[in-house]
Amino acid sequence: MTDPRTRLQGLWLPLITPFRDGALDEPSLRNLIRHYAARPIDGLMLGATSGEGLALSWDERARLVGVVRDELAATGRPLPICLGVGGVATADLIEALDRTASWPIDFYLISSPPYVRPSQRGLLAHFTALAERTTHPIVLYNIPYRSAVGLDNETLLQLAEHPAIAGLKDCCANRMQTRDLIARKPAGFRLLTGEDAQSFDALQAGAEGAILLSAHLETETFAAILQHVRAGRHDAAAACWTEVEDLTRLLFTEPSPAPAKYWLARTGVIASPEVRLPMVEVGAALAARLDKEIERRTAAAQSRVA
């Protein structure tokens, strides 16, 4: 039997969740899947930060997973799916794992409990309890600027030994911590960078992949960066990074995923840039900047074709 950890590599897309008039926009969701199934991605994250997962009801999450899985089957690309599951109390997260045990997913993405700021011993006990209960392998999500507490590398190395913990989405925003973990982690534990603006450095240091909101745009270029890094073509990788580095900052000028949704709506991939409160759509100044960048990149793409 194939180890599921082997699928946790390459370029993953933390898929935005399209809304229209307050509801899940299934036609746009299907169009999104057809759009990205034709592009060089290796997996999909659903209902996580970029997917506004905390704003989704359980019924919406079930529909989200079902529609994505059905559409992937129709396109003939059975990409792995990782579902974001969040919460504070360990008991509530165990209930969520039980609720979704039969869902057609491949991994869970779980961050540290926000607000309560447990100790490292508490985090170790929390994630171990989840790993002991889960049906699907867990991808840890280390993002201390959102959860208010981060996973130290010593804690991560202990958790990496658990057979139900497959890897890490690394958003620690600490270059030295990332490099130290890459150097010390066991071979089967996969580290995928999730810090868009720092992703090139993490890939060069040995990360097995990347989970990037920015890869909603210029998907082929982000995929090429991974391919060049793997092949040791560092100059080619750096040249590709130069083409997209500015996007990794522009798309986070206002809270994500509003800028990416605006771009996707303006280019016809989804019907509406709608987000759910307390998120709001981009302001007029950023919309003008995004419009200008869309026009510039569209013109550059057309000139390359010509």
* CB-CB contact of 262 with 282 (8 Å): yes
* DSSP string computed for 18-66: -EETTEE-HHHHHHHHHHHHTSS--EEEESSTTTTGGG--HHHHHHHHH
Is 50 annotated as belonging to a binding site? Answer: yes
Asked if the model's pLDDT at residue 94 lies above 80, the reply is: yes
Asked if the model's pLDDT at residue 1 lies above 70, the reply is: no
Q: How far apart, in Å, are the Cα atoms of 221 and each of 37, 38, 242, 247?
A: 16, 14, 10, 12
Q: Name the pLDDT band for 163 (thresholds 50, 70, 90).
A: very high
Residue type at 62 in one-letter notation:
A
Residue type at 235 in one-letter notation:
D
pLDDT in tens, 275-304: 999 999 999 999 999 999 999 999 988 877
148 sits in the region (left: phi over 0; alpha: psi -120 to 50; else beta) called left
Asked if the model's pLDDT at residue 59 lies above 70, the reply is: yes
pTM of the model: 0.96
CB-CB neighbours of 185 under 10 Å: 19
CB-CB neighbours of 214 under 10 Å: 27
Residues with a known catalytic role = 141, 169
CA 40-85-210 angle, to 5 degrees, is 30
Is 303 annotated as belonging to a binding site? Answer: no
Average pLDDT over residues 26-50: 98
Asked if the model's pLDDT at residue 305 lies above 80, the reply is: no
Asked if the model's pLDDT at residue 144 lies above 90, the reply is: yes
Half-sphere exposure of residue 64, counting CA atoms within 13 Å on the CB side? 28
Q: Name the pLDDT band for 171 (thresholds 50, 70, 90).
A: very high
Average pLDDT over residues 196-212: 97
Residue type at 129 in one-letter notation:
A
Average pLDDT over residues 172-188: 96
Percent of the chain with pLDDT over 70: 99
Q: Which residue has the tokens 């690309």?
A: 77
Asked if the model's pLDDT at residue 13 lies above 90, the reply is: yes
> What is the distance of C-alpha 78 from the center of its chain?
18
* Domains of the chain and any CATH numbers: 4-231 (3.20.20.70)
CA 28-32-37 angle, to 5 degrees, is 150
